[in-house]
Amino acid sequence: MTSDSAAPIRPGEELDLRALELYLGSPLGSVRQFPGGHSNLTYLLTFANGEEAVLRRAPLGPVAPKAHDMVREARILEAVSPLFPPAPKPLRICEDPAILGVPFFLMERRAGTILRTEVPPKIAALPNYAERISAAFVACLAELHRIDLAANNLARLGKPDGFVERQVRGWTDRWNRARTDDTPPEMDTVIAWLAASLPQSNAATLVHNDFKLDNVMLAGDGAIDRVEAVLDWEMATIGDPMIDLGLTLCYWTHSSFSTFTAGPGWYTRDQFLHHYARLSGQDVRDIRFHETLGVFKLAVILQQIYFRYRRGQTQDERFAQFGGRVAALTSKALELSR
C-alpha cells in the first residue's frame, strides 16, 4: 500500500456501530479500516455530514501489561500536537471500556501518502525523489528531538533517568513473557550483551519509539519535501534520542527490514547519521548499541504478536509466519552485537 486509503473491515474486527453512534451523539455514514500495521486497530469514520475522523483502539484479545494504552497515546498527542505540527490532534478520548470493550480515541484525519512496500509511479517520476524524501524524513526526526522539554512542560511524559537500562530490562521481560516452543535461544546472548554494554545516555528529548517510514505520511500532491503527519505515538516518552535513531536505522538501512530505502538514491546509513547529527546536534557515537537494541525490540514486538497467534488470541493469518521473522531478527541482532 502506498497511501492512507481505508479498506473494508477485517472479519472479527468490527466495531459496535450503534454503541459508537450513541456515544458520539452523531450518525455515521461509513466505517472502514486502515489495513496497515500489525498491532492497534485503526478505523476511518465518515460521519453523515461528510466529516471524517480516525479511531484508534487496542488489538483484540489479551495484551501485554501496559501495552496498547490508547488513552496514554491520546494524552501524548494532546501535549505534543501544539508543538510539533506533524502530530495529529486528538478529538475525543473515551476511557470507558463499556462502549467498545476497550478505551479508544478519535483524532483528526490527515491526508497524504504513506510509503509501505513500494513507491508509487507518480512519486517515482519526481526528480531526486529518494534523496528528497530521505532529507524530509531525517529533518522530521531531528525536529522532534529539538523540542524544548523544559519550556513546554513535557518532562512529565516520561522518566529519563535510567531510561536506556529500563528499555533493556523492560523489553527483556516482554521477550521472556512471549516465549514459545520455537523461540530462538541465541537471543539470550544478545540480551546478555545489551545488559553488559549500556552506553552513557544523551540528554533527554521527546522519543517517538517507533519512528519509521510507514509511520510517516508525506504531504499530498507530490509535496514529498514535507512530512504531513507522524503516526502511532503509543510508545512515545521522554528519554535518550538514540533509542529513536537506532530503531529507525534498523528499518531504513538493513535490507531484511527495508523494502526500498536500502536501495540506490536513498540516504545510506552514513548519510542518514551525518544529516541527523548536523540537524539535531546529537552525539551518535554509540549507535551500534542502539541499532542492536532496535533489532531486539523489533523481534520482541513480532514475538508478542506471534505468541498471541499461537495462543489463538488472534485469527489473523498474517501472523502465522512471524516465528520465522523473529528468527531472522535474532540472527541480525547477534551479528550487530559482535
User: How would DSSP label each residue in 193-218?
Assistant: HHHH-PPPPPPPEEE-S---GGGEEE
Provide φ and ψ at 334, rounded to 5°: -65, -40
CA pair distance 198, 215, nearest whole angstrom: 28
Provide φ and ψ at 35, rounded to 5°: -80, -15
pLDDT at position 258: 64
Provide the β-strand partners of residue 61: none
pLDDT at position 253: 86
CA pair distance 101, 105, nearest whole angstrom: 13
Map out the domains of the chain with their CATH numbers: 17-112 (3.30.200.20), 117-337 (3.90.1200.10)
pLDDT at position 313: 86
Whether 276 and 140 have beta carbons less than 8 Å apart is answered as: no
User: Which residue, 227, 212, 172, is CA-closest to 194?
Assistant: 172
Query: What is the number of other CB atoms lying within 10 angstroms of the CB of residue 300?
Result: 23
- Sheet arrangement for strand 28-33: 28-33, 41-47, 52-57, 104-107, 90-94
Whether 1 and 36 have beta carbons less than 8 Å apart is answered as: yes
Cell numbers at 119, concatenated: 513507491
pLDDT at position 116: 86
Whether 282 and 242 have beta carbons less than 8 Å apart is answered as: yes
C-alpha of 74 from chain center: 14
User: Which residue, 166, 165, 170, is CA-closest to 198?
Assistant: 165
Cell numbers at 170, concatenated: 523492560
Whether 48 and 26 have beta carbons less than 8 Å apart is answered as: yes
pLDDT at position 1: 38
Provide the β-strand partners of residue 229: 217
CA pair distance 307, 295, nearest whole angstrom: 18
Q: What is the pLDDT along the chain (338 residues), one digit of tens a residue?
A: 344 678 999 888 999 999 999 999 999 999 999 987 657 899 999 999 999 999 999 887 655 555 568 999 999 999 999 999 999 999 999 999 999 999 999 999 999 999 988 899 999 999 999 999 999 999 999 999 999 999 999 988 999 999 999 999 999 999 999 999 999 999 999 999 999 999 999 999 999 999 999 999 999 777 899 999 999 999 999 999 999 999 999 999 875 666 789 889 999 999 999 999 999 999 999 999 999 999 999 999 999 999 999 998 887 888 999 999 999 999 999 999 98
CA pair distance 249, 14, nearest whole angstrom: 35
Q: What is the pLDDT of residues 177-226, one digit of tens each?
A: 999 999 999 999 999 999 999 999 999 999 999 999 999 999 977 789 99
